[in-house]
């Protein structure tokens, strides 16, 4: 090549590319999730012990169309965040519906409140836990945002 030529030369190289198809690992088997787009996520949540579904005669069902209670979501969030729940937690604050909250659930509700994960639902100037009510996407988003 002479002066002024625009050509560029280099050493010759051989490149080999191997494409392998990999299958997503599903660590937990749900009978009712095999054709669901959410199977991968649901099985990994179960494998981590965060949300396990229900066991019927040795088979697990996720029940993807079942509505989630606010209390169940709070328990799952505390687990995801690895926040220990103190059964002896004493708080001066009480939700207005404290008498409706099961004794076993109170440590979860008040731990989530003390950690700032939940703030309660304001009704007539009082804060309610409303653990038995279904959680809305907006409420779930708020709880997740409070957890960041």
Tens of pLDDT along 53-104? 899 999 999 999 999 999 999 999 998 899 999 777 767 788 999 999 999 9
Q: Which of 118, 138, 114 is nearest to 128 (CA)?
A: 118
Average pLDDT over residues 113-130: 94
User: What pLDDT digit, counting tens, does each position of 20-60 carry?
Assistant: 776 678 888 999 999 999 999 999 888 888 888 899 999 99
Q: Please report the sign of the dihedral spanned by the C-alpha atoms of residue 39, residue 41, residue 47, residue 50.
A: negative
Report pLDDT for 59.
94
Select from 58, 65, 56 the least CA-distant residue to 38: 65
Residue-level pLDDT at 25: 80
Q: For the whole model, what pTM was predicted? A: 0.71
Phi then psi for residue 134, to 5 deg, are -70, 140
Residue 131 has pLDDT above 80, yes or no: yes
Pick 132 or 52 by higher pLDDT: 132
**pLDDT at 9 (0 to 100):** 73
């Amino acid at each position: 090549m002479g002066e002024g030529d625009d050509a560029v030369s280099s050493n010759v190289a051989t490149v080999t590319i191997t494409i392998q198809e990999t299958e997503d690992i599903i660590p937990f088997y749900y009978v009712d999730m095999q054709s669901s787009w959410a199977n991968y996520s649901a099985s990994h949540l179960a494998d981590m012990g965060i949300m396990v579904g229900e066991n019927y005669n040795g088979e697990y069902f996720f029940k993807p169309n079942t509505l989630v209670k606010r209390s169940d979501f709070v328990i799952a969030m505390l687990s995801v965040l690895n926040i220990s729940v103190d059964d002896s937690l004493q708080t001066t604050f009480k939700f207005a519906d404290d008498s409706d909250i099961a004794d076993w659930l109170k440590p979860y509700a008040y731990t989530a409140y003390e950690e700032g994960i939940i703030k309660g639902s304001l009704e007539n100037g009082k804060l309610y836990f409303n653990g038995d009510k279904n959680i809305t996407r907006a409420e779930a988003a708020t709880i997740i945002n409070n957890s960041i």
